[in-house]
Amino acid sequence: MTSLILAIALFQAGPCRGEAERHIADAQRLGEAFDLAAAAEAFAAAVKSGCPDARAAAIYIRGLIAARAADAQFGSAAALQPLQETISALEPFVFFAMAMYAYYAMRRSGLTHPNRMALHWTIGSAVFSALGAGLLGLAHTWPAVNKWTHGTLITPMHGHMAFFGAYVMIVLGMITYALPGLTGRGEESRETSAGFWAFWLQVGGMFGMTMAFAAAGITQTYLERILSIGYLETQLKLQVHFLMLVATGAVFVLGVALSLWDFFFLAGRPVEAAAARAGAAPAGSTAG
């Protein structure tokens, strides 16, 4: 890699004439001999001699010198890899701490909040984030594992649960928390049977999709990456997992549809519209 960057640097300077041309030739000769400091000085001399195109090459080589100095002082990238792996593996502990705090808060106050629907989405977000982004992310973040699983169905296994927990659930929690105030309803009126069914269908469907991706991804990694079986042949052997994925995905979509129905026609309907409809019915019956 260093040789490639150096080769790019040596040909950065455009055609120059006179003294600058001689300095560039010296810089290229010194660079090919990996005398980086002397090559950088020669390119700098070419710039002073009236060849501004040599400035980029001088910057490239000075960057290489700085990289070599960093390697000598702090260790090479390979030597630092265990430290990088450890720092990367610390990220899930943030999600675990968030889930523990959510559990502690629930134990302290119970489900006494009047808007239990928002509470379900909020606590669910903490738990699903810890499982998806935390546990499943930790499972294949190590380079020794990721070199086999990267680009397989292990990645969407982690991604689906992580994004649903960390983003979708917390957004739905904020929506359900704000909805009573926006529609003029009481907090307790946010609870509907359709809303709870939507919650559990989405949670169950997403969990099932994650398990389907996990089974398919583990099988794909073993067949394709370990046994070197071809991609298309491997896909044929994963069909049963794809059927499970479609079935659980349908459960999730049903939950989404029910959630939209609840939002637009049940708990999300403004109280003025509900009152108007309630007042219109007696008037119609009196006229009859």
**pLDDT, position 222:** 94
**CATH class of the 82-271 domain in this structure:** mainly alpha
Q: Is the pTM of this model over 0.85?
A: no
**pLDDT, position 146:** 85
- Spans of all domains in the chain: 2-69, 82-271
**pLDDT, position 151:** 87
Query: How far apart are alpha carbons 185 and 271 in whole angstroms?
Result: 6
**pLDDT, position 78:** 67
Query: How far apart are alpha carbons 212 and 229 in whole angstroms?
Result: 21
Q: Are 158 and 139 in contact (CB under 8 A)?
A: yes
Q: Are 130 and 95 in contact (CB under 8 A)?
A: yes
Tell me the CA distances in angstroms from 120 to 196, 203, 258, one per residue in order: 9, 11, 16
Written as tens digits, the pLDDT of the chain (288 aa) is 444 444 444 444 455 666 766 766 776 676 666 666 777 777 677 777 766 655 556 666 666 666 666 666 655 566 677 777 788 778 788 888 888 988 888 888 776 777 888 889 999 999 999 999 888 988 888 888 888 998 899 999 999 999 999 999 999 999 888 887 777 766 666 678 888 999 999 999 999 999 999 999 999 999 999 999 998 999 999 999 999 999 999 999 999 999 999 888 876 566 555 455 555 554 444 444
**pLDDT, position 38:** 73
Q: Are 46 and 20 in contact (CB under 8 A)?
A: yes
Helix (H, G, I), strand (E, B) or coil at 144: helix
Nearest to 207 by CA among 262, 118, 135, 145: 135
**pLDDT, position 5:** 46
Q: How many CB atoms lie within 10 A of CB 35?
A: 14
Query: How far apart are alpha carbons 244 and 203 in whole angstroms?
Result: 16
**pLDDT, position 189:** 63
List, as one string, the DSSP characters of 60-127.
HHHHHHHHHHHHHHH--HHHHHHHHHHHHHHHHHHHHHHHHHHHHHHHHHTT-SS-HHHHHHHHHHHH
Helix (H, G, I), strand (E, B) or coil at 146: helix
Query: How far apart are alpha carbons 69 and 12 in whole angstroms?
Result: 23
**pLDDT, position 249:** 96
**pLDDT, position 187:** 60
* Alpha-carbon dihedral angle through residues 225, 231, 236, 238, given to the nearest 10 degrees: 40
DSSP letter assigned to residue 221: I
Query: How far apart are alpha carbons 238 and 9 in whole angstroms?
Result: 48
Q: Is 29 exposed, middle or buried (0-12, 13-18, 19+ CB in 10 A)?
A: middle
